[in-house]
Structure 1
């Protein structure tokens, strides 16, 4: 019994040969490809597999999509920052150009007014440029780019398009020093435009002007314009000096002091006009140099001759 129950030799247990299986698989694949190409038999299967694996594809592609979006966001953010910086720079440039245009326009208007002032005065005038302010905290002075070589002399009045600026107090060959009207050591004969009241205007040293020792009942009102009277032989008559701003009464009620705002634009621009000083007659009538009795006798003799 044991001999009949022996196992068959291993040769009979082997399956199909690998080469045969390979040939079978290749033929099957080719057949399926041909059938699918001509008759579309596998289209439903393909659609089913595509739909079944779509969620898996999305899960697999999500990290790639997320990384791509993050990269695009970073690139976009960097571009936006760059554009914003460029826009800010362009805005600054435009603002600077606009300010320059405004300054140039204001300077042009100022120069036109200065030219009109020159024509209105009719006298020989010389334009000059303010170089800088003198380094003296107690005096109000500026330095001009004109000096003795250009014909500037001490005592020349200096004006701008609005009124009196000051007077030349020192002259060098290539520059001149002008003491501003607001200097505390400056004064100028003036008169009120509204009623012709004559007065003297003094500088205060702090950018303002004063009319001192005025009668308490003087006919001066806030808002009155004060101009040069021309009796000093320096400033032509009618140049604006300042505008009455306020009144400071004396506690004793005897005198009043009026505060004026200078008409000239002290420190606004750098262009001024140097005026030729006016000349007053220096010859005195002969009758003023004679003694009083001689003058009286001469007058009486003339009357007697006329009577005869």
Structure 2
């Protein structure tokens, strides 16, 4: 009977609650009391989920940033030749009717060490002979030419910067094609141009690009910008200084240009060595004419210049 009575009371209460919402105040009060307990229980789970999402999004951003930096470096290394190619195309379009092709293979390297010797500008990169790096290979950053590979190890290489006192790079003025040589001065912010005639057409603001002479540096890459031109009437050559465009003291990533045949000289035609007379044959006397080249006895002698006039 007690069970039946309690069941009838429960049914009555549920019916009244469903129709009149009599238990809402009690339910709201219990929810307010239980809410801190629910939050305390779910806090570790929510914290772990948020931490996982934060780490995943951060790692994703780091990966995307690294990929974008790599693409930016490659694009800048390819696009920095655009101005030089446009000027060259403008000068040669009437003669050639075609534009140049960018066909070099590049390898991205990262700075690992800087030589502290104040008399040489050397840096070390993390690419070596196992990555097909060779001595003399051109090195660039996103702005211009940095230098060339000086020594190669198995997993690293030493790069000599263009400002090293012992370094010289053939360049040309992009505006008019004037060729000269940019010499290192030991100052990271200054290059000197050697043997520039005093009447040469060069001025401040001119862009210097690689001329391609020497077979080391590909043609058309920016090197420096002319800053000062000093003309002394008593000197046969002008004193010209330029500012390197590459960030020699800030770049950590750089591009090694693998130009393939850039460092090879063209094959010369074979020249036959003159025949050496054997020991059994007498050597011809000095001034003697070989028999096959001797004039025919029946043919008249050649006229001596001036003889006809006489």
Please point out which of 197, 201, 204 is paired with 1:222: 204
2:248 to 258, 266, 270: 266
TM-score normalised by the chain length of structure 2: 0.55
| Residue of 147, 159, 169 corresponding to 1:178 | 159
Deviation of residue 281 (structure 1)? 4.3
3-state SS of paired residue (2:73): helix
Shift of 1:110: 6.0
Give the distance between the partners of 2:155 and 2:264, measured in 1 at CA.
29
Kindly provide the CA deviation profile for residues 206-259 of structure 1, in whole angstroms up to 9, marking residues without a partner as x.
Answer: 111111221111100100000000011011100101000012334623211211
Matches within 5 A, 1:29-68: none
Aligned-pair distance for 1:283? 1.4
Secondary structure, counterpart of 1:236 in structure 2 = coil
Pair 1:284-2:268 in alignment: yes
Are 2:78 and 1:116 aligned?
Answer: no
- Aligned residue pair count: 187
- The CA distance in 2 between the partners of 1:109 and 1:243, in whole Å, is 28
Looking at structure 2, the residues matched to 126 and 108 of structure 1 have their Cα atoms a distance apart, in angstroms, of 15
Counterparts of 1:194 and 1:223, CA distance in 2: 10
- Which of the two has greater helix per residue? 1
Give the 3-state SS of the residue equivalent to 1:167 in structure 2.
Answer: strand
* Correspondence list, 1:1-308, <5 A: 111-119=70-78, 121-207=102-188, 208-250=190-232, 252-277=234-259, 278-285=262-269
1:184-208 deviations in Å (ceiling 9; x for gaps): 1100111000000111111111111
Contact 1:249/1:256 (8 A) holds in 2:
yes
1:194 partner SS:
coil
RMSD, aligned α-carbons: 2.7
Q: Larger C-alpha radius of gyration, 1 or 2?
A: 1
Query: TM-score normalized by structure 1?
Result: 0.55
- Local SS of the residue matching 1:149: helix
| Unaligned ranges ≥5, structure 1 | 1-100, 291-308
